[in-house]
């Protein structure tokens, strides 16, 4: 039992619960935004000319950002280090789409396990380079939603149709989890959840892994409100979303992506009111703008000012950025919230409030 009252006995990332109560922690920003700045070609994604492993792989693989940990690892490491230099306490592995389900699109499902392990090693090495006694850094194993949905039909003419099963998702996520753990992640982040059933498959796989191995790592959960209705794509309000997953006892619970901070605020406020976990928020840099260098509207000053408003009002414990955010955004956010106190949170089953 942790002294902070949270009913977990973590085997990695043990310092995180207390750190979340001492100050607002900083998550990194977008990986895709940074990769886009390199303007990589098909040959670059294959690692050519120096790496010929994928020279003859059938089909186009440009855009498979997860493959870059195998073909351009120096780029991924540099991006990690840029975010750490900007003040990130936690960086995410480049594994958002590194499941066999997602990699089927590139005919690379068989590489999923390797992608996750290598990506975790790259993130862990970057953390070790930047960690100090006063500011430890943590690698979060990023677990994305996959391009498929277990609870929504892909065919408007057949509401009962599904293109993936719960068991297929669970098996795919289990493989990802094992790779991330072997590579050395400190915690797991199930993020950008648009379908709660997909998330349940990932969380079920995590629970199985913890039970079978005896390991116990912090779990962060982050959903995506897709429009002004205040619901995730599979139909739940943020309150229903929380209540359907609270049994996992996540270390953090929150929202990311889809909406910029301004539109996300009422939903973060609602979660802050009802959750007995730490609250996370890492919004996009506003709305998409193809004329912008990052593809999104907001400058670092704008995004950081909005996120600081959440911190000022005591709504959050962990903040960062999603699509369109850069190390400059993260640095501005870190500087802005450094003077703020974290939101008070506690577990219902804890012996004492935080």
Question: Is 281 one of the annotated binding-site residues?
Answer: no
Q: Which residue carries 């995410």 as its tokens?
A: 92
Question: Is 275 one of the annotated binding-site residues?
Answer: no
**Residue 288, SS3?**
strand
C-alpha separations of 290 from 285, 287, 295, 297 in Å? 13, 10, 5, 9
Please give the structure tokens belonging to residue 243: 């209540």
Contact criterion met (CB below 8 Å) for 323 and 258? no
- Phi and psi dihedrals of 108, rounded to 5? -130, 25
Closest CA to 227 of 269, 280, 264: 264
- How buried is 58 (Cβ within 10 angstroms: 0-12 exposed, 13-18 middle, 19+ buried)? exposed
Question: Is 323 one of the annotated binding-site residues?
Answer: yes
**Residue 282, SS3?**
strand
DSSP annotation of 234 reads: T
Closest CA to 294 of 341, 248, 260: 260
The strands making up 90-92's β-sheet, listed across from edge to edge, are: 25-26, 318-319, 278-284, 252-260, 219-223, 187-193, 138-143, 90-92
Binding-site positions for Zn(2+): 257, 322-323
Positions at the binding site: 257, 322-323
């Amino acid at each position: 039992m942790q002294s902070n009252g949270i009913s977990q006995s973590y085997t990695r990332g043990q310092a995180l619960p207390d750190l979340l109560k001492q100050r607002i922690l900083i998550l990194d920003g977008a990986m895709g935004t940074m990769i886009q700045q390199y303007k990589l070609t098909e040959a670059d994604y294959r690692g050519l000319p120096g790496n010929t492993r994928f020279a003859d792989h059938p089909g186009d693989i440009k855009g498979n950002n997860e493959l870059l940990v195998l073909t351009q690892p120096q780029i991924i490491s540099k991006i990690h280090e840029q975010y750490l230099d900007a003040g990130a306490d936690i960086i995410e592995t480049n594994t958002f789409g590194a499941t066999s389900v997602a990699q089927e699109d590139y005919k690379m499902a068989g590489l999923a396990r390797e992608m996750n392990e290598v990506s975790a090693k790259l993130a862990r090495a970057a953390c070790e380079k930047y960690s100090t006694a006063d500011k430890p850094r943590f690698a979060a194993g990023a677990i994305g939603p996959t391009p498929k949905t277990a609870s929504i039909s892909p065919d408007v003419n057949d509401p009962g149709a599904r293109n993936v099963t719960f068991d297929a998702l669970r098996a795919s996520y289990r493989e990802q989890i094992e790779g991330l753990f072997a590579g050395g992640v400190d915690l797991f982040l199930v993020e950008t959840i648009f379908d709660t059933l997909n998330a349940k498959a990932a969380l079920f796989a995590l629970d199985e892994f913890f039970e079978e191995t005896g390991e116990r790592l912090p779990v962060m959960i982050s959903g995506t409100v897709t429009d002004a209705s205040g619901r995730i794509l599979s139909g739940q309000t943020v309150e229903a979303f929380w209540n359907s997953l609270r049994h996992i006892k996540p270390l953090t619970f929150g929202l990311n992506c889809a909406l910029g901070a301004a539109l996300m605020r009422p939903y973060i406020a609602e979660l802050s009111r009802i959750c007995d976990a730490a609250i996370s928020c890492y919004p996009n840099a506003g709305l998409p703008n193809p004329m912008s260098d990052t593809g999104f509207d907001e400058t670092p000053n704008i995004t950081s000012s909005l996120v600081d408003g959440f911190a000022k009002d005591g709504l959050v414990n962990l903040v960062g950025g999603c699509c369109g955010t850069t190390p400059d955004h993260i640095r501005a956010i870190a500087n802005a919230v450094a003077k703020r106190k974290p939101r008070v949170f506690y577990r219902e089953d804890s012996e004492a409030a935080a």
